[in-house]
């Protein structure tokens, strides 16, 4: 049975796009991508306008870049600023290992085993079909894409239905648990944008029950997302992603934790990268959600100590004590 193009998984389209952009050093034009890459191709065959497909491609590029996938835009060689016939590619060098990395024989054996599994199953039929179509256009394709694993991790099951609802301009409903609360409340939302911030996905839109714009953390959605038949004006999506990020950044500027981190630990690698200042007292790390940040800090155990704010320190201590008590009960 053919895949319904309207309901094809957005994350599958992102993976297909990564595969296509990795496959050729010369890059692909937007027209080639929209006509050849699975996910866009089916949408076009189903009647989606070129303008809608181009906006979908622009959102997908932003999503991939936010995940750390380096998409290059190549203009006319005679006039690099002329992007009318721009080509897009992912430089494979960005996915190569540094030359000074050495592996033990045991590590090489494990990597060989893993690469065999990846080689057999990593590329979907739709991705292979897209590469054949690109080759048919006379564009040289580097076949061994195997080994370049797309850096995409969409753990929350709500991601796919939310992105589909954004593309179709449909209102969604879901249960949501606010930070610090155990009770879930029903939300009815016009989803305008999905954005990644601090390694976590958020959906930004208009809460119809609260009559206000809101940003929701996907990990706090506690039910299936219901995509309703109620539609909203697609123009509301324009600029929504930038507005959502600006709002999250504003919250983070107001909330900065002072933490002391053990050098050379996982906590140091992760927190120092996000720190905005550091001195003898510790480093200042901005955060958006105190409950989520407390979960992260507690997971580092003795590698990190929260100095301020006191409220955040209390949340971390409570989590550590709960973990201790659960361990004691299991041991008893």
Q: What is the mean pLDDT of the chain?
A: 78
Q: Is the pLDDT of residue 256 over 60?
A: yes
Q: Rounded mean pLDDT of 21-44?
A: 83
Q: Which residues pair with 214 in a beta bridge?
A: 205
Residue spans of beta strands (DSSP E) within 198-237: 200-207, 212-217, 226-231
pTM: 0.55
What local confidence, expressed as pLDDT, does residue 2 receive? Answer: 40
Report pLDDT digits (tens) over 210-246. Answer: 999 999 999 899 999 999 999 999 999 988 988 999 9
pLDDT tens-place string over residues 1-32: 343 333 345 667 887 888 788 877 788 889 88
pLDDT reading at 145 higher than 80: no
- Give the pairing of strands 184-197 and 200-207: antiparallel
For residues 147 and 118, give the distance between their C-alpha atoms in angstroms, rounded to a whole number: 7
pLDDT of 53-95, one tens digit each?
A: 888 888 888 877 766 678 888 875 555 555 667 889 887 665 5
Q: Domain 159-244 maps to which CATH number in 2.30.30, 3.40.50, 3.30.2130, 2.40.128?
A: 2.30.30
Q: CA angle, 180 as apex, 179 and 183 as ends, to 5°?
A: 85
CB of 220 within 8 A of CB of 236? no
End-to-end CA distance of the chain: 55
Angle of helix 10-22 relative to helix 50-66, nearest 10 degrees, comes to 80
Which helix (H) or strand (E) element contains residue 74? strand 72-74
**The pLDDT of residue 176:** 96
- Of residues 203 and 47, more confidently modeled: 203
Domain extents in the chain: 5-136, 159-244, 255-331
Q: If we measure between CA atoms, which residue out of 205, 201, 202 comes closest to residue 192?
A: 205
């Amino acid at each position: 049975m053919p895949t319904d193009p309207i309901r094809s998984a957005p994350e599958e389209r992102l993976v297909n796009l990564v595969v296509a952009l990795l496959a050729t050093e010369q890059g692909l034009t937007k027209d080639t991508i929209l006509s050849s890459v699975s996910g866009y191709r089916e949408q076009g065959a189903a009647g989606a306008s070129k303008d809608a497909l181009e906006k979908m491609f622009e959102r997908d590029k932003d999503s991939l870049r936010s995940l750390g996938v380096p998409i290059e835009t190549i203009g006319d060689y005679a006039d690099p600023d002329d992007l009318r016939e721009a080509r897009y590619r992912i430089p494979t060098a960005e996915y190569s290992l540094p030359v000074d990395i050495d592996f033990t024989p045991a590590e090489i054996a494990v990597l060989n085993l893993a690469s065999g599994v990846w080689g057999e199953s990593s590329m979907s039929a739709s991705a292979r079909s897209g590469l054949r179509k690109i080759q048919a256009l006379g564009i040289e394709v580097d076949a061994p894409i195997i080994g370049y694993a797309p850096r995409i991790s969409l753990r929350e099951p709500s991601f796919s239905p939310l992105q589909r609802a954004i593309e179709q301009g449909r209102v969604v409903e879901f249960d949501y648990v606010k930070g610090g609360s155990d009770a879930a409340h029903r939300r009815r939302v016009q989803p305008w944008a999905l954005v990644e911030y601090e390694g976590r996905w958020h959906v930004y839109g208009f809460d119809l029950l609260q009559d206000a714009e809101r940003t929701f953390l996907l990990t706090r959605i506690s039910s299936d997302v219901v995509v309703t038949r109620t539609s909203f004006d697609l123009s509301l999506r324009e600029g929504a992603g930038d507005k959502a990020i600006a709002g999250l950044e504003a919250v983070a500027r107001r909330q900065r934790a002072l933490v002391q981190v053990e050098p050379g630990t996982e906590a140091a690698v992760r927190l120092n990268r996000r720190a905005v200042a550091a001195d003898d007292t510790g480093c200042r790390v901005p955060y958006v959600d105190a409950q989520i940040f407390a979960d992260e800090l507690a997971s580092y155990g003795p590698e990190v100590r929260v100095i301020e704010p006191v409220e955040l320190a209390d949340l971390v201590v409570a989590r550590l004590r709960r973990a201790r008590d659960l361990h004691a009960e299991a041991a008893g």
